Structure 1
């Protein structure tokens, strides 16, 4: 499996990953790809974004799901660079503090919450790395403390990878500590699906 690791300022292609004690069975059970289940309701924040900017959630006419991205060293470098860049440029701040509401999805300028990081990374990966939006999927997870969180799923031929504002590394989804709840449809950004194999939370697999 192809993976990502950043060492200092150097971004390199990594072919192996180290797992913590007890995590191997959970990782194997999850597999490299998320299993998509039944349709799920859209997050409230995305509903507001779609009302303000319908193009954000409009499916391409007669579009079939995108073929997964085929990774290569150049693309991996671009993905890792964008992940680190957005994480370093945007200051984490809640929607309550910024806008006075609980959920407000938007493209951040200098500050934003987890969904805003995701939106910025999604746009940059599409514009700069030419990755189809059908392979850049906003994903809702639950952290080990029970709090909700949003990450970006990169759907590739090697598996599903996660870009996260809480981690400068781009990791296979089955090496993250989250319970995965739902994500955007690959064919329609305004539709969401449950993640059938996403409930196992990995403990001790990462030095967070």
Structure 2
């Protein structure tokens, strides 16, 4: 809010509303109006720049190496009992990845940002006893962000085989859930800890296990050395 505060000049004063004063008032008004336009125009431009989606990344065929079959997290099994449609067996096509077009790239950025803003972060202090993977809650932790993003992309027609929930370990040693998206331009990570959509190789996480793209209900270990 912009406020103009000035002195009050008595009407009896000989200089009240002189031609010079009226000209000065008009000039001041134009200056203030121009300043408002510049300020608010700059804010709008800056906001647009912040929301701008970066260019589609260059093709990088490197993907996470999937290892041997592994049991899924217990909370994932409970999630599937609660949201059967999210875990419904789906037809699997060989090849796994999906072509990353500009439209799909923009969609990933939109979903990642929108879900991150929509859910208020709430830390689970009860451990396993307090875990429940919920789609689009008002408040939640990393698990809720990840399943919500997967749900929104499924609704938009993305194939389930490329939307893989993934368990990682952060630098503090805590376990964390993200959504891994398998594309022809590499595996991308949708994470509630950042508004950016990053290639998996640019994260600092230790990868533990991920949903199997070919066998519903199963997860697999990560085969990369050193994890």
Q: With structure 2 as the length reference, what TM-score do the two structures score?
A: 0.71
Which of 98, 103, 109 is the matching residue for 1:69? Answer: 98
**Corresponding residue of 1:92:** 121
- Any conservation in 1 of the 2:86–2:151 contact (CA below 8 Å)? no
Q: Deviations over 1:37-96 (max 9, x none)?
A: 1111110111211233344333226x3456311011111111101100100111111345
**Corresponding residue of 1:46:** 76
Change (3 A) 1:140 1:198: farther
Larger Rg: 2
Matches of 2:83 and 2:225 in 1, distance apart? Answer: 30
Change (3 A) 1:65 1:119: farther
Mapping 1:127-142, distance limit 5 Å: 127-128=155-156, 130-142=157-169
- Any conservation in 2 of the 1:66–1:187 contact (CA below 8 Å)? no
Mapping 1:17-56, distance limit 5 Å: 32-56=62-86
**Corresponding residue of 1:114:** 142
1:105 aligns with 2:141: no
Select the structure that is richer in strand: 1
Aligned to 2:209, the other structure's residue is in SS state strand
More relative contact order in 1 or in 2 (CA 8 Å, sep 6+)? 1
Aligned to 1:67, the other structure's residue is in SS state coil
**Corresponding residue of 1:19:** none
Q: Deviations over 1:155-203 (max 9, x none)?
A: 0111111000001000000000100010001123411000011645xxx
Q: With structure 1 as the length reference, what TM-score do the two structures score?
A: 0.77
Matches of 1:107 and 1:11 in 2, distance apart? Answer: 25
**Corresponding residue of 2:4:** none
Which of 65, 77, 81 is the matching residue for 2:110? Answer: 81
Matches of 2:57 and 2:88 in 1, distance apart? Answer: 37
1:124 aligns with 2:152: yes
Superposition misfits of 4+ residues, deviation over 4 angstroms: none
- Any conservation in 2 of the 1:139–1:151 contact (CA below 8 Å)? yes
Change (3 A) 1:116 1:83: same
Aligned length in residues: 179
- The farther-off stretch of 188-197 and 170-179 is 188-197
Select the structure that is richer in helix: 2
**Corresponding residue of 1:176:** 203
TM-align CA RMSD: 2.5
